[in-house]
Amino acid sequence: MARNFKEAIKSRRTYYGFVNKSPITDDAIKELIEFAVTHTPSAFNSQSTRVVLLLGENHKKLWNITKEILKAKLPEDAFKTTEAKINNLFASGYGTILFYEDMSVIENLQKTYPGYKDNFPIWSYQTSGMHQFAIWTLLEDAGLGASLQHYNPLIDDAVAKEWNINPKWKLIAEMPFGEPTNQPGKKEYLPLNERVFVYK
């Protein structure tokens, strides 16, 4: 859709409910992820973010793994509600993006710059958040709806085993996406004078 930057930011919303369709090709999805990973900033230019794109059966497998893990941990009634949520809001989509941070990069920075040791994990999360926002906005601009989920750390080990994920990578978030089946509701905004302060 190629909106301008402000329009793209404004249009990015959380979508709950999408179908297994995409208005763009798999290659185009991969390209927009690669674009975001290339150009999104990171502290000390660490480039610590790692992104895994799951499509087709791999996407479905992720959410089946998630359900199996939760089924073993939740009471039966609670699991039924959770299962319906996963089936209808996440697994029903076209794909899922997994966001990781490479902790070996963080550990090397901590050794190289010990004065900032405690800050590097914090900056790593900020880096991941910027990547999530950039990719989310690009998906929205391409006509795809997405949401951001956090079933980590419950699913970390099973996911790492299934897709042979580097053990030094830490799972930060999961982003299911697909063609939206409905529009997000009206968003409420807190007064800006309580959130933005200017001193001249």
Spans of the chain, pLDDT less than 70: 1-2
For the segment 58-105, what is each residue's pLDDT rounded down to a tens digit?
999 999 999 999 999 999 999 999 999 999 999 999 999 999 999 999
Structure confidence at residue 17 (pLDDT): 85
Cβ pair 54, 96 in contact under 8 A: yes
DSSP state letters, 116-145? GTTHHHHHHHHHHHHHHHHHHHHHHHTT-E
The whole-number pLDDT of residue 124 equals 98
- The pLDDT score that the predictor gives to residue 3 is 80
Q: Which pLDDT value is given to residue 1?
A: 55
pLDDT for position 183: 87
pLDDT, residue 2, reads 66
